[in-house]
Amino acid sequence: MTEPVRVVAAGDHFVLPSLITRAVEHEVERAQVTELKLGWPLEPFGPVAEVQEASDAEDELIGALAGAEVLVTQMGPVTERVLAACPDLRLVVVCRGGPVNVNLDAAKSRDVRVCFAPGRNAAATAEFTVGLMLAALRRIPQAHDLLAGQRSWAGASYYTYEHSGLELEDLPVGLIGYGAVGSRVARVLCAFGAQVMVYDPYVRGEIHGLRVTSLDDLLRRSRVVTLHARLTSETRGLLGARELALLPRGAVVVNAARGPLLDEDALCDALEGGRLSAAALDTYAREPLPQESRLHALADRVVLTPHLGGASRAVAEKAARIAAEEVGRWLRGEPLAHCLT
C-alpha cells in the first residue's frame, strides 16, 4: 500500500490550517497532514533572514517539517536554514500571489518545487479599492467619526458646496497598472460611469477605458489616481513629489497595492499644501504604520486601513483550494500550474 504523503499545513489566523487541511484532503486521497498556526496578521510579517514578508517562525517551521515532503503555507519563512534542516521536503506551495517568503535559489539547488496562488485576492482587493475611493471622495469615515464617535452633526458641513465631495460618474480616474486587480477596478468604475484611463506599458490587447501611453499624461488628466502596479526596483517610488505635482489641484490618490510605490513624505506635503484634497491608503512604506507617521495628523484628509484589501473569507478559501490543487498535480505527476522552480 502506498504510504500517505506527509504535508505540513502552516496556516495562520487568516488562511487557517484547517482550511488547508480540508482542501488537501479533498484533493489528495492519502495525506497525513500536520497543522501549524503562525501568528499573522495578529503579529506583523517582515523580513526573516534572507526572505521578505514572512512570519518570524523558522524554528517552529523546522520542527513541524520533520519528515514532511510538502509544505503549504502563506507566511512560513522558507529560508536557507529551513530548507537545509528539512531534506525530505520536495514541494512548497505558498498561498499568495508570489512566493516572497521563499528563498527560490536555495529551493532550486535542493530540487524543491515552489508554487504559488495567483489571483486569489484579486476580486477582494478590487472591491476594497473602490470602497476606499468612495470613502475618500465622499468623506464617509470623517462623517462617521463625527456622528458616531463625537455625537456631532458637524459632518453636515460636507453637504455644503465648498466641502462636498466628488462623484464617480463622469470623473476622470487614472489607473496605474492593469493586472488582475486593476482590470477589475476598471470594469467597476466603467459601470459607475467614470472616465477610466489606464497606464500600463506591459499590457497589450483591449482594455476597459482609454489607454494612455505616458504616466505624466495620465496624471495631468486624472482627478483620482489609483495604484495597481507590482513593486519592483523600477516601480519603487513611482509616485513622488514630481509626479504628484502633475495632478490637478484637489486630486485624490488611492493605494491598495504596495506602500513603497508611493513616496509618503511627498504625499503628506501635497496634502498639507492643498495640492491634493484626499488620499486613501491600505498599504504603507513601513507596516505596521509607525506612530510617528505624518499621516496620523491628516485624519481629516486621509482614509487609512491596515492592509485589509485581500481580507475576505473567500480569499482564504480560494488560496487553500489553489494550493491543494497544486499538491494534487504534483502527486499525480502532472504539470504544475503556478510553479517557479
Domains in the chain, please, with CATH? 5-120+312-332 (3.40.50.720), 122-304 (3.40.50.720)
In which band, very low, low, confident or very high, does the pLDDT at 53 lie, cut at 50, 70 and 90? very high
Alpha carbon of residue 61 to chain centroid: 24
Contact predicate 96/319, CB 8 Å: yes
Residue with cell 470613502: 135
Contact predicate 321/20, CB 8 Å: no
CA dist 97 and 81 (Å) reads: 23
Instruction: Give me the pLDDT at residue 284, please.
Output: 97
% of the chain beyond a pLDDT of 90: 97
Instruction: Give me the pLDDT at residue 1, please.
Output: 45
Return the SS3 of 38. Answer: coil
CA dist 83 and 89 (Å) reads: 8
pTM for the full model?
0.92
CA dist 83 and 62 (Å) reads: 8
Instruction: Give me the pLDDT at residue 311, please.
Output: 96
What confidence tens digit (pLDDT) does each residue in 116-160 have?
A: 999 999 999 999 999 999 999 999 999 999 999 999 999 999 999
Residue 132, CA distances (Å) to 100, 102, 129, 191 in order: 26, 31, 5, 17
Q: Which residues are catalytic?
A: 258, 287, 307
CA dist 39 and 295 (Å) reads: 27
**303, three cell numbers:** 482614509
What confidence tens digit (pLDDT) does each residue in 306-333 have?
A: 999 999 999 999 999 999 999 999 999 9
Span 227-240, average pLDDT: 96
In which band, very low, low, confident or very high, does the pLDDT at 186 lie, cut at 50, 70 and 90? very high
Alpha carbon of residue 146 to chain centroid: 30
Residue with cell 510553479: 339
What confidence tens digit (pLDDT) does each residue in 235-281 have?
A: 999 999 999 999 999 999 999 999 999 999 999 999 999 999 999 99
Span 67-94, average pLDDT: 98
Q: Are strands 46-48 and 51-54 parallel, antiparallel or unpaired?
A: antiparallel
Answer whether residue 89 shows pLDDT above 50. yes
Among 204, 200, 198, 206, smallest CA distance to 222 is for: 198
User: Which helix (H) or strand (E) covers residue 248, if one does?
Assistant: none
What confidence tens digit (pLDDT) does each residue in 6-46 have?
A: 999 999 999 999 999 999 999 998 999 999 999 999 998 99
CA dist 263 and 156 (Å) reads: 33
Instruction: Give me the pLDDT at residue 3, please.
Output: 87
Instruction: Give me the pLDDT at residue 341, please.
Output: 85
What confidence tens digit (pLDDT) does each residue in 150-165 have?
A: 999 999 999 999 999 9
Q: What is the mean pLDDT of the chain?
A: 96
CA dist 62 and 70 (Å) reads: 13
